[in-house]
């Protein structure tokens, strides 16, 4: 069993793109994003500020003075996120690919709700900058079932080299409410190279259940590249060796405006299946908190 050349090239490209910086405009002055009480947003260089007003220079309308009584929020921007096509907001879902986690951690007080094909539901929340907790379920009880599966997802994330390399350990602890089951899940560790906009993650996971832990690891190899203000390319892949190499591969697109994200992808096994292209993946994520 061989990994396809296309998949290998994709993952190799992801690795190298982690080191290619985006072209950012030089910023010699403080740049701010101002949201007014009527919902308008202005981005520009600070010209002057008084007790009553703020004056900034924008690309779209030139210099503009805004009364502070009309300002709902004023945030200083990182110059690295200013591009020729405008301001690139933070990645609203930097800690997860389609389903697999990266080693990046949620910030304290930040969280998200993720839904895949209506049935798969996850909620994650940053307790501290290094520890998050999540939970999920498939609500089969809505269809009259007397049981439903659930899982809990603790995760510890540690930055090792600034924003360019992180390590994490975590678990997926599952069970079924309404059934006599000992439960099971996955223990994992991951390393992520790159920042929140372009990165590559390698992870090892060991399944467990009925008091035993598998001796054969599941290898996860995932990558993410930001291609524009609101778009990311994502690949999430799993491999396991058991009298051969088996696994699942996926490739998709994430549309991620500032306040939500939508994932479109195709998922398929690595084995040759003739004309089979893949199973579609559709996920929606809504961030909340800080």
7 DSSP assignment: H
Single pTM value for the model? 0.77
53-73 tens-digit pLDDT: 999 888 778 899 999 999 998
| Confidence band of 12 (pLDDT split at 50, 70, 90) | low
Domain boundaries, the chain: 5-23+94-289, 31-83
pLDDT of residue 168 exceeding 70, the answer is: yes
**How high is the mean pLDDT of the chain?**
84
Burial class (CB in 10 A: 0-12, 13-18, 19+), 40: exposed
**What's 31-83's CATH class?**
mainly beta
Residue 118 has a pLDDT of: 84
69-117 tens-digit pLDDT: 999 988 887 766 777 666 788 888 899 999 999 999 999 999 999 999 8
Contact present, 156 and 170 (Cβ < 8 Å) = yes
CATH architecture of 5-23+94-289: Beta Barrel (2.40)
| Confidence band of 25 (pLDDT split at 50, 70, 90) | very low
Contact present, 96 and 110 (Cβ < 8 Å) = no
- The pLDDT of 216-239, averaged and rounded, is 93
Contact present, 172 and 101 (Cβ < 8 Å) = no
Residue 273 has a pLDDT of: 55
140 DSSP assignment: G
- The b-or-e profile of 229-255 (16+ CB within 10 A means b, else e) is eeebbbbbbbbbeeeeeebbbbbbebe
Q: How far apart are the first and last CA of the chain?
A: 46
Residue 274 has a pLDDT of: 58
């Amino acid at each position: 069993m061989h990994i396809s050349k296309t998949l290998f090239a994709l993952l190799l490209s992801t690795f190298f793109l982690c080191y290619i910086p985006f072209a950012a405009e030089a910023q010699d002055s403080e740049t701010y994003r101002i949201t007014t009480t009527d919902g308008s947003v202005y981005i520009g260089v600070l010209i002057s500020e008084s007790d009553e007003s703020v004056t900034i220079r924008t690309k779209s309308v030139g210099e503009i003075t805004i009364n502070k009584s009309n300002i709902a929020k004023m945030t200083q921007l990182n110059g690295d996120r200013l591009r020729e096509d405008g301001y690139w907001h933070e990645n609203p879902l930097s800690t997860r690919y389609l389903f697999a986690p990266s080693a990046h951690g949620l910030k304290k007080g930040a969280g998200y709700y993720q839904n895949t094909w209506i049935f798969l539901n996850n909620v994650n929340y940053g307790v501290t900058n290094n520890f998050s907790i999540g939970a999920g379920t498939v609500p089969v009880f809505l269809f009259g079932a007397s049981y439903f599966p659930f899982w809990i997802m603790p995760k510890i994330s540690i930055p090792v080299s600034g924003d360019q390399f992180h390590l994490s350990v975590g678990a997926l602890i599952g069970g079924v409410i309404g059934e006599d089951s000992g439960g099971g899940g996955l223990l994992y560790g991951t390393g992520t190279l790159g920042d929140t906009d372009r990165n590559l993650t390698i992870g090892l996971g060991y399944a467990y259940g009925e008091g035993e832990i598998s001796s054969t690891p599941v290898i996860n190899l995932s990558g993410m590249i930001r291609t524009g203000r609101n778009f990311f390319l994502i690949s999430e892949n799993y491999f396991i060796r058991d009298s051969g190499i088996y696994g699942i591969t996926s490739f998709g697109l994430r549309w991620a405006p500032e306040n939500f994200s939508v994932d479109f992808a195709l998922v398929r096994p690595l084995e040759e299946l003739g004309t089979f292209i893949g199973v579609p993946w559709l996920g929606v994520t809504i961030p909340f908190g800080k």
